[in-house]
A and B are shown apart, each in its own frame.
Chain A
Amino acid sequence: MNCQRARDVFPELLDSRTAATALLEARTHLANCPDCQREFATLSQTAAALDAMPTPHPSPRLRQNFYAMLEEEKHSAASVRVVAAREERARRASLWRWVLSPLVACALLLLGFLLGKRAVPAASSMAPGDDTTKRELVALREQMAQQTAQLNKMTQLVGYSILQQQQNPANERLQDVLLAAKAETPSEKVIDDLIQALTLDPSANVRLRAIEALYAHVERDVVRAGVIAALPREQNPLVQLELIDFVATAQDHNATPVLEKIAADEATNVTVRDAAKLALAQL
């Protein structure tokens, strides 16, 4: 390989992602050619200096402007329409699930029953005293009993989830939240449910209980992020006050842009605005 052809491979050799797989011939040439070594060394030195060049951090203004723009876009007419369409699709999908899930459960039960029917005659026709076959039959029955129990459990879970989404009255949802609050070391799922209740539940009472329950887990990032996400969406002044109190207690600086917006929004309740200003001062 001559110098020119070897130098054509320099881009690959200078890139850490491709250096190892670059042509062996070029690497061999480079190892033996002082001119190419000088050329490569100066290029490598320049690339290293470029890589080491420090970059300043953007000012906080960039983040503030971005989130202000995002909020504005979320409230624009086009975005609201898209969100409404998405919610409508989700509602329809949920309805389908509500109709289909009992049917699927019935089909599975029927299938289990038919399989059972086929297994029982085979068992009755066996020779008496055959211990191995008896044990197999007992094991098969136990397996079927377990599957049936599992199926019932699944059906209950599906039903519970659907009821929770669509039919549970507010006081039942409230009970769920209170139950979740009692858990000393709640799972991620329970925390998620509480955040979901805080963000999406139509009842202000449920949302208030959810925020109270979440106080115990203020040290978790996901909880603080959930509360900050719920704050700009909240319209009820009582819940807004609770949320502001929460972020002030949490001392989470990520809440600053949201609080600033609430404090500046003249349409917001005066008490809420004052609370936001106080929280900003605390942060």
Chain B
Amino acid sequence: MIAALDEIHVHSRPSLVNRSRAPTSVDSATEQRPDHALMLAVRDGELDALGELFERHHGPLFGFLFKLTANRPAAEDIAQTVFQRMLKYRHTYRDDGSFTAWMYHLARRCASDHFRKANAAPHATDPVDLHEHADDAPHAAHTATTRDDHALLRTALARLDHDDREVLLLARFQELSFAEISGILECSVGAAKVRAHRALAELRAIYFRLSKQAASSE
């Protein structure tokens, strides 16, 4: 019976093992210091250690922000702000802290500030964005995007509620434990798990709906 279950493929998360780049500073070239030790060094005035942390984490951080915002320049600006705040608020980093959890906590705040500012600024509606609204009739541009599976999923992710998208991306990609995610989202571990699962179920519903629409329009 259990063997039958094994046939249902459980997809593992993408490994982020290779995300660390070659060390660039003299200290870390001789020995790989853990993130926490590097951030403590930054807090104590060794600012060059932040360069090492940047090299290790800016790729995954940018990836998270790109998927969250679906906007490359915005993701870069927010990533830049995250490292700026790490420098500015380095004295608040705690001895018992987790660097990755702290970084995504800052990233979440920076993204939220970015969206608030973007929403406050008046802007003209881009016709390309109109497919984001609920509409049963398939849009021409929409049909074009759904031809590609990744584009389809990107569209589904963009249609997901911001909070759902955020928890799903944190849970799926960032190698964070649910304890850390619950700390970032300021909720209980159980609530974080439930939210992540509901978000995945919601994404599935949108994704399959879009797939059907794409299939019927072809």
Interface residues of A (CB under 8 A from B): 10-11, 13-17, 19, 24, 27-28, 30-32, 37, 40-59, 61-63, 65-67, 69-70, 73-74, 79, 82-83, 85-86, 188, 192, 195, 199, 221-222, 225-226, 228-229, 254
CB <8 Å contact, B45 and A222: no
Whether the Cβ atoms of A70 and B47 lie closer than 8 Å is yes
3 shortest interchain CB distances as A-B pairs: A16-B12, A48-B11, A82-B45
Chain A residues near B153 (CB-CB < 8 A): 49-50, 53
Cross-interface CB contact of B45 among A30, A37, A79, cutoff 8 Å = A79
Can you name 23 A-B residue pairings with CB atoms under 8 Å? A10-B197, A11-B194, A16-B12, A30-B8, A31-B4, A32-B1, A37-B8, A41-B8, A47-B200, A49-B149, A50-B153, A50-B203, A52-B14, A53-B150, A59-B72, A59-B76, A66-B83, A70-B48, A82-B44, A188-B30, A192-B26, A195-B26, A226-B29
* B26 and A225 within 8 A (CB): yes
New contact pairs (7) apart from A30-B5, A228-B24, CB-CB < 8 Å: A50-B168, A51-B13, A51-B172, A73-B47, A82-B44, A82-B45, A225-B26
Q: For A16, list chain B residues within 8 Å (CB).
A: 10-13
B10 in contact with A14 (CB, 8 Å): yes
Of B45, B50, B51, B84, most buried by chain A (CB within 10 Å of CB) is: B45
Q: B154-194 vs A: 1/0 string, CB under 8 Å?
A: 10010000000000100111000000000000000000011
The answer to whether B1 touches A31 (Cβ under 8 A) is yes
> In B182-218, which residues have CB < 8 Å from any A CB?
193-194, 196-197, 200-201, 203-204, 207-208
Q: How far is the CB of A75 from chain B (nearest CB, A)?
A: 10
Is B131 among interface residues, defined by CB-CB distance under 8 A?
no
B61 to chain A, nearest CB (A): 9
Instruction: State whether A58 touches B172 (Cβ < 8 A).
Output: no
Q: Is the CB of A46 within 8 A of B207?
A: yes
A178 → chain B closest CB, angstroms = 22
Q: Which residues of chain B are within 8 angstroms of A73 by Cβ–Cβ distance? A: 47, 87
A41–B155 Cα distance when bound, in Å, is 21
Contact B197 A69 (CB under 8 A): no
Contact A43 B1 (CB under 8 A): no
Nearest opposing residue in chain A for B152, CB measure: A49
State A44–B11 Cα separation when bound (angstroms).
7
Q: CB within 8 A of A229: which of B48, B149, B154, B200?
A: B48
Identify which of B62-70, B96-104, B115-123, B139-147 touches chain A.
B62-70
* Min C-beta distance of A15 to chain B, whole Å: 8
Report the Cα distance A86→B45, complex, angstroms.
Answer: 8
Q: Which residues of A contact B105 (CB under 8 A)?
A: none
Interface size class on chain B is: 35 or more
Q: Which residues between 67 and 90 of chain B lie within 8 Å of chain A, taking CB atoms?
A: 67, 72, 75-76, 79-80, 83-84, 87
**Across-interface contacts of A32 in B (CB, < 8 A):** 1, 4
B79 partner residues in chain A, CB cutoff 8 A:
58, 62
B47 touches A53 (CB 8 A): no
Query: Are B193 and A69 in contact, with the CB atoms below 8 A?
Result: no
Dominant SS among interface residues on chain B: helix
Select A27's contact among B5, B14, B196, beta carbons within 8 Å.
B5
Inside 8 A of A85's CB, which chain B residues have their CB? 45
B108 at the binding interface (Cβ < 8 Å): no
Q: With a CB–CB cut-off of 8 A, which chain A residues contact B193?
A: 11
Interchain CB contact under 8 A, B66 and A55: yes
CB closest chain-A residue, reference B201 = A43
Given A46-B200, A59-B76, A66-B54, A222 and B62 contact (CB-CB distance below 8 Å): no
Report the Cα distance A24→B26, complex, angstroms: 50
Is the pair A83, B149 in contact by a Cβ cutoff of 8 Å?
A: no
| Interchain CA distance A173-B197 in the complex, whole Å | 64
B25 in the interface (beta carbon within 8 A) = yes
CA distance A56 to B69 in the complex (A): 13
> Of the candidates B14, B22, B30, B45, which one forms a contact with A51 in the assembled complex, judged by CB atoms under 8 Å apart?
B14
Check B9 for interface membership: any CB of A closer than 8 A. yes
Contact A69 B87 (CB under 8 A): yes
Which residues of chain A are near B51, meaning CB under 8 Å?
A: 67, 70
Q: Tell whether, in the assembled complex, residue A226 and residue B26 are in contact, meaning their CB atoms are under 8 Å apart.
A: yes
Q: What B residues does A65 contact at CB under 8 A?
A: 80
